[in-house]
Chains A and B, each alone.
Chain A
């Protein structure tokens, strides 16, 4: 946000809103701000997290008064990342004037002082307060925290791979983020919108929308903010240089928020020309370094060829490149887009699937400043509820260990998506951390020794259900194990939607398909059940992070076993169905009914014999 000049739809100055907040955080007695640090390990569970943080050295102590004397003395220059390389910084620097903490930092990658060799001491000589210390070492902090909010933000799309727009080939093709730095009064051009090729203000500019968003070449999703950002940018240009002609090429203008449509209308009134249809190609005029945009106006069904002085690519937002590290550290899950997934998209939009962890901002999905603040406030409040209570209420579906049966193999701990099982081999103890457990039952299905008692979904309960359902004409029945969230709800949806499917399916509900132990399937077959269906959420959509991965592994193992024992493996089916896919459930049952009708008495007998005693 600090890189942006103005914010939509109110056009207030970005740094004017942000800087006081950043400074408040820096000075708040109850907030410890750790910059230039890396989370290395997150252990524990809701209310009792132990976090290991590596604090990297800045080589400048808190004595620094940010007077800039060291920077002036430093002989090494590099492009400033904050200005996307449009300005220079030194090896000792601060990214921007309002950065918090205001303490400077030394970039040891470019500094002349390499490990063990102090070649240059210009900054040390220049520093009156003796705040520069090249002997600083990285330190590891161990923090004990109750809740964690993941607000790691996002990155912008790199348009250099879209060769038809010529970014990095033509100097006058810039990104919207570079534009923000150019139009910012504190930026590298002092607020003048200049063409990088000749430093002159262009007579006309073109914005190209959806660069890297909503396309097969870039990211498939809408980046949410680029339309309004362009509208804001075009108004900014019109405010400073009313004579500059503005073209906006778009697919759809998505001005959906409060005050957005007004801003869009204003931009049109100010004279920005909106054309539907992205240019197919941007070509540079070698003499003037102006750019030709060639494409089709899809509203008027005619081709256009427009000459402009500068092209601004409205680039999209994408997940941080190190999201998988954060995902691994905090046991989060991600949507196919790569953003972190919330526990429930409607009812728990700021909770992560792991208890005590919350999400805020663009780490969860692309969003504007207002939405980020809304979500962050919600996350803080959700965390506050837990912290104020000091305890959590868990559903009574957590497992209980039976120490007599336990062989300490640790399989249960390995499959637990929440790391809620601790195996202490020394004390010969398996401990279920109930606060962290969500009750999926994957551990119970994995345990070979009946050492885990899954409350309310016990082995005995499920076995009795199988027994009851296979009491009469078992060979005509399909025993279906459905997970509570997707498959069971999907079957329910098929019912309430009055979809017709064979009535001989018998459903056993479990919290997760991961609860379905191979022995349940084997028991059903040994009782002569015609067919067995295991159904759960789509991979990646599991309500217990990734417990259904275990489901798939177990079913695949069972298929192999059935093959080996000569049992028709078509009798066991695996289905991924969401709560809205009643049709999918119905058609699967119909398909299984067809196999059931072909089933011979010998085949049923074979199954009974093969799995006798299970």
Chain B
């Protein structure tokens, strides 16, 4: 394939609706291992600047729109302190 820079916005970019994610963090369960921040493939999370009850810095959402709902953070969290759900209103507007 031609190694040319593709500069145009794809014509169908409006129609493609990927499920939008909602990220839920339970700060007080977090022990601050940072796995979720480290391993998120889209770098959605970052360290927050507020201490939790356990005296560590839990993660906070940096850019929710980048999340692809892969669920890796949920799987990797040793303390069940993070999970993702699909945003409801987007799901109703399903486009084939």
Contacts and interface: CB of A to CB of B under 8 A. Distances in A.
B16 A168 contact: no
Contact of A158 (B4, B41, B72): B4
Interface in A152-173: 155-156, 158, 160, 168, 171
Interface in A193-228: 194, 196, 199
A119 B10 contact: no
A473 to B, nearest CB: 64
A86 B10 contact: yes
A119 B1 contact: no
A112 B69 CA distance: 11
Contact of A76 (B4, B68, B71): B68
B33 interface: no
Contact of B70 (A77, A87, A95, A119): A119
A117 B39 contact: yes
A79 B68 contact: no
Contact of A189 (B4, B11, B19, B42): B11
B3 A87 contact: no
- B interface, size bucket: 20 to 34
B16 A88 contact: yes
B41 A119 contact: yes
A373 interface: no
Contacts of A171: 8
Identify which of B4, B6, B11, B68 gathers the most chain A CB atoms within 10 Å of its CB. Answer: B11
Given A112-B42, A155-B2, A75 B11 contact: no
A97 to B, nearest CB: 15
A122 interface: yes
Contacts of B10: 79-80, 83, 85-88, 188
B39 A119 contact: yes
Contact of B12 (A88, A95, A114, A122): A88
B92 interface: no
Interface in A319-334: 321
Interface residues of A, number: 34
Interface string B54-93: 0000000000000011111000000000000000000000
A84 B6 contact: yes
A392 B72 CA distance: 62
B8 A79 contact: yes
Interface string B1-27: 111111110111100101100000000
Nearest to A194: B11
B12 to A, nearest CB: 5
A120 interface: yes
A81 interface: yes
A37 B70 CA distance: 30
The B contact surface, by secondary structure, is: loop
A593 B41 CA distance: 77
A349 to B, nearest CB: 27
Given A79-B8, A88-B13, A119 B2 contact: no
Contacts of B68: 75-76, 112, 120
A219 to B, nearest CB: 15
Contacts of B7: 85, 160, 168
A431 to B, nearest CB: 41
Given A112-B70, A120-B68, A81 B11 contact: no
A498 to B, nearest CB: 53
B11 A86 contact: yes
A189 B12 CA distance: 8
Contacts of B72: 112, 119-120
A82 interface: yes
A552 to B, nearest CB: 35
Nearest to B75: A119
Contacts of A160: 5, 7
A81 B8 contact: no
Interface string A109-121: 0001110010110
Given A81-B6, A112-B70, A120 B13 contact: no
Nearest to A154: B2
A196 B7 CA distance: 12
A82 B6 CA distance: 11
B18 A75 contact: yes
Contacts of A155: 2, 4
A75 B69 contact: yes
B47 to A, nearest CB: 19
Identify which of A76, A156, A194, A199 gathers the most chain B CB atoms within 10 Å of its CB. Answer: A76
B6 A199 contact: no
A203 B3 CA distance: 33
A199 B39 contact: no
B3 A86 contact: no
Nearest to B3: A321
Contacts of B5: 160
A87 B41 contact: no
A156 B3 CA distance: 10
Contacts of B41: 112-114, 117, 119-120
A307 B87 CA distance: 47
Contacts of B13: 88
Identify which of B2, B3, B5, B72 gathers the most chain A CB atoms within 10 Å of its CB. Answer: B2
A114 B6 CA distance: 23
List the 6 closest A-B pairs by CB distance, nearest first: A85-B6, A75-B68, A120-B70, A112-B41, A119-B72, A119-B41
Interface of A: 75-77, 79-88, 95, 112-114, 117, 119-120, 122, 155-156, 158, 160, 168, 171, 178, 188-189, 194, 196, 199, 321
Given A119-B41, A120-B41, 13 more contacts: A77-B16, A81-B1, A84-B6, A86-B10, A88-B16, A95-B1, A114-B41, A117-B39, A119-B39, A155-B2, A158-B4, A196-B11, A199-B11
